[in-house]
């Protein structure tokens, strides 16, 4: 009985396996699709017109600045301005005690009157002796003495006038006035302070803030490169107008008003190897203050046929040379060594190694091996995808 059961189980298993084999033979194997060349995103190089700029650090300084110092000795009687206010040229700032200078002026005025009175007398005497000497009524010597006395009197009058003018000037200097218009800072002295003529310490400082200078430094090597580019015609500049300058503030914001480049220093700083450039900016709202750190953007010139390559497509080889991958002949990847001059925004400015029409690989660089065939598509375009939910066709049964 047990033997019969075993025989039946073996027979059923054989029938089941045979059915599976027949079912498998009823379907065809679908062949895997053949993979094509990998797709890479490329950008086609086209020369373009680019305005080249240079960003340089610098500091602001006032257009005009004057340190107020006394020109006579004395005691400050009164300060007659408000610290931090705007003052006009000629406005009185300090009053020095004028008593001694007033007395000196009065004395000089009296001395002049005395000299003029004496001169009138000797002039009349010289005039009489001039007529008398003609008729031999007086000797020639008497006439010469009278004429010398006349010249002496005239010299005394001139000297007295000069002394009076000096006394008047010194008296006027007791009123310390503003040499320029602008904003005045804090006062270094108070009422009752003793000041001396042309002292080292300034009483106050006036700065004109309606326009501001920005002094920046540029390396002499960069300046030479710029001059060579202009001389060769690679860059073009408008010589009829001054170079325009833009300004970036300390917080990174842009200053709204453009400035102009005034001049560059004629000597190179031996310690830094740099040249100082000075630009001037209008400052109507006085947003720029002296001593601020800023960054000036100078317009160097125009490159009419600039070759630009996005920075993401440029790498460095073992020698440190800049390289790009291009799609060359037969749609194969070729490495290309290039020379980059500078950055322009997010691009490199290429001076050698690329030409118009070259296709530089920007996307899919991990698949772009030198010498391998690739399929070039425009950078940023989405490759065609298999529609979602697509099914393979049903296999034919045997």
* pLDDT single digits (tens) 69-116: 999 999 999 999 999 999 999 999 999 999 999 999 999 999 999 999
Confidence of residue 272 (pLDDT cuts 50, 70, 90): confident
Given this model, what pLDDT does residue 9 score? 53
| Residue in 18, 41, 6, 11 with CA at minimum distance from that of residue 383 | 41
Mean pLDDT score, 351-358: 89
* pLDDT single digits (tens) 212-252: 999 988 888 877 776 776 566 555 555 545 678 899 998 98
Between CA 377 and CA 40 the distance in angstroms is 6
Domains, in order of start, for the chain: 40-50+306-378 (2.40.420.20), 52-63+211-303 (2.40.30.170), 70-201 (2.40.50.100)
Confidence of residue 302 (pLDDT cuts 50, 70, 90): confident
Given this model, what pLDDT does residue 276 score? 86
pLDDT greater than 50 at residue 289 = yes
Given this model, what pLDDT does residue 87 score? 95
Indicate whether this model's pTM tops 0.85: no
3-state SS, the chain, equals CHHHHHHHHHHHHHHHHHHHHHHHHCCCCCCCCCCCCCEEEEEECCCEEEEEEEEEEEEEEEEEEEEECCCCCEEEEEECCCCCCEECCCCEEEEECCHHHHHHHHHHHHHHHHHHHHHHHHHHHHHHHHHHHHHCCCCHHHHHHHHHHHHHHHHHHHHHHHHHHHHHHHHHHCEEECCCCEEECCCCCCCCCEECCCCCCCCEEEEEEEEEEEEEEEEHHHHHHHHHHHHHCCCECCCCCCCEEEEECCCCCECCCCEEEEEECCCCCCCCCEEEEEEEEECCCCCCCCCCEEEEEEEEEEEEEEEEEEHHHCEECCCCCEEEEEECHHHEEEEEEEEEEEEECCEEEEEECCCCCCEEEEECHHHCCCCCECEEEECCCCCCCCCCCCCCCCCCCC
């Amino acid at each position: 009985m047990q033997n019969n059961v075993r025989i039946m189980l073996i027979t059923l298993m054989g029938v089941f396996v045979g059915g599976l084999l027949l079912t498998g033979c009823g379907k065809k194997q679908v062949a895997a699709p053949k993979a094509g060349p990998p797709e890479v995103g490329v950008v086609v190089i086209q020369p373009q017109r680019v305005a080249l700029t240079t960003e340089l650090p610098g500091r602001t300084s006032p257009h005009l600045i004057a340190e107020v110092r006394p020109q006579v000795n004395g005691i400050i009687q009164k300060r007659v301005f408000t610290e931090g206010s705007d003052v006009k040229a000629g406005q009185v700032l300090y009053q020095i005690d004028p008593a001694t200078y007033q007395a000196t002026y009065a004395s000089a005025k009296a001395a002049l009157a005395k000299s003029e009175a004496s001169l009138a007398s000797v002039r009349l005497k010289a005039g009489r002796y001039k007529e008398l000497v003609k008729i031999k009524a007086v000797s020639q010597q008497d006439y010469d003495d009278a004429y010398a006395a006349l010249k002496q009197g005239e010299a005394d009058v001139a000297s007295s006038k000069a002394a009076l003018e000096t006394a008047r000037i010194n008296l006027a200097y007791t009123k310390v006035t503003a040499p320029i218009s602008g904003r005045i800072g804090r006062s270094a002295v108070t009422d009752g302070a003793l000041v001396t003529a042309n002292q080292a310490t300034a009483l106050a400082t006036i700065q004109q803030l309606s326009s501001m200078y920005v002094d920046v430094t540029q390396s002499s090597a960069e300046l030479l490169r710029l001059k060579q580019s202009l001389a060769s015609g690679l860059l073009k500049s408008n010589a009829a107008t001054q170079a325009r300058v833009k300004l970036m503030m300390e917080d990174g914001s842009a200053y709204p008003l453009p400035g102009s480049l005034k001049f560059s220093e004629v000597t190179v700083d031996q310690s830094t190897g740099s040249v100082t450039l000075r630009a001037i900016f209008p400052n109507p709202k006085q947003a720029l203050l002296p001593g601020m750190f800023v960054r000036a953007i100078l317009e160097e010139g125009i490159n009419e046929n600039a070759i630009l390559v996005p920075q993401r497509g440029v790498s460095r080889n073992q020698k440190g040379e800049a390289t790009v991958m291009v799609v060359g002949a037969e749609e194969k990847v070729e490495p290309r060594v290039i020379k980059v001059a500078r950055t322009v925004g997010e691009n490199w400015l290429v001076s050698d190694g690329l030409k118009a029409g070259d296709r530089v690989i920007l996307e899919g660089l991990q698949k772009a091996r030198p010498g391998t065939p690739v399929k070039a598509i425009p950078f940023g375009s989405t490759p065609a995808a298999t529609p979602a939910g697509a099914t393979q066709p049903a296999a034919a049964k045997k």
